[in-house]
Amino acid sequence: MAQIHALTPEGRLPTAAVAHVEEVIDAATPHVGPWRDITARLDSSRVIGGRVYIRRSEGFVEYSIAGLATDSNGVILTWGDLPLEYRPTAGTSFLVYGENGSDADLTPNYGGGMSLARSDQGVPYWGTGRLATDQQWPTEHPGVEAGWGEQPDLALSPADAAQMIGRVSTDVDGLGARLAIVGAGRPDVTGSMIGSVASAVADAPSGTTFVSTDGPQGAWQWQKRGTTWTVTDGTIAPRDVPFIDGTILTTRPGISTTISRTGDRVTLSIVNVLAVSSAPFSQAQQPIPAGFRPAQEFNGLLTKGSAEQHARLLVQTSGNVIVASASGLSGACAATASWVTTDPWPTTLPGDPA
């Protein structure tokens, strides 16, 4: 609720007003906490090198792993050792990359512990992770605040680690090339990466993995197959897109036409579209945008109400859409269509977030 504050005789805001303004600004500003070094909390009987950093941001717990090496797999942080506000909603793992060309699973769990699996003994691993949390903003913080440059044994800050090239073996594949790359951006858009990452991408052989630390357009992991970079882990949440032609199919309250993509699977959702034809028709609608078009022609049904009437829903590989009926269609209609696409991952997203 808005508040009105009178000025002091000197023309200044009173103390209460200043505090109120600070509260409003704080509430509107996404929180990002400082990085905390929690290495001292790790199981020293298993961890033999490296550092682990953690921080809270709005709705997430973020991790940076710098040269973590263990003498065996298993629990590296005891259950319950992290404050509740630094725990993810569920135990979800993320990949870290070893200097010998291997990768391993690091799993922070909702009970406040952490484990490492599939790692090679004594090999340093690097990587970053970002897991969702539904916990409130922390009042208690683990470890010590990281002071970059104050600790002589710190090789990289989390910001640097997020840009580093992972799996830094000098000759894993006999070509002197790296088989995994970690960095911000996407490998098919050179300008999205910093110079060292772009150079590694340019030299990468077929089979190389690229792990993005910022996931542009929802693409988080790629693999080079031949000469083409293909998304292997990516999700585009539903987007509101134009679909109806405005003649045979028109708008009505509650209309929704959205498109989404997970990997190579596209889903088109049509809800509450109004059909207004009592005669046979075959009418083009708005095309499916690039990045979402079917690899093979798709045929489905646009259904009215309780399924007493249907129209053919045809989506061609070009993205063109045709709705057709031999007997007409009138009333509120809906459809859900799903297909595989071979379109490159889009560099711009269509429409607006649904």
For residue range 330-340, list pLDDT tens digits in order: 888 889 999 99
What strand order describes the sheet that includes 114-117? 74-77, 114-117, 103-108, 94-98, 125-132, 60-70, 47-57, 36-37, 144-145
Predicted local confidence at residue 161, as pLDDT: 44
Query: What number is the average pLDDT over the span 58-80?
Result: 85
Lowest-confidence region among 15-19, 114-118, 237-241? 15-19
Range 197-216 average pLDDT: 88
Alpha-carbon distance of 199 to 183, in angstroms, equals 12
CA distance 112 to 142: 11
Residue 309 scores a pLDDT above 70: yes
pLDDT tens for 224-263 read 999 999 999 999 999 999 998 888 898 888 889 999 999 9
- 119-170 confidence digits (pLDDT tens): 888 888 888 888 888 888 888 888 888 764 333 333 344 444 444 433 333 3
Long-range CB contacts (within 8 A, 24+) of 191-197: 192/216, 194/163, 196/163, 196/165, 197/163, 197/165
Residue 20 has pLDDT above 90, yes or no: no
How far apart CA 105 and CA 92 sit, in angstroms, is 9
Q: Is 199 exposed, middle or buried (0-12, 13-18, 19+ CB in 10 A)?
A: middle
pLDDT of 313 strictly over 90:
yes
* pLDDT for res 200: 85
pLDDT at 107 over 60: yes
Q: What is the mean pLDDT of residues 41-47?
A: 88
With cut-offs at 50, 70 and 90, classify the pLDDT of residue 7. Answer: very low
pLDDT computed for residue 19 by the predictor? 58
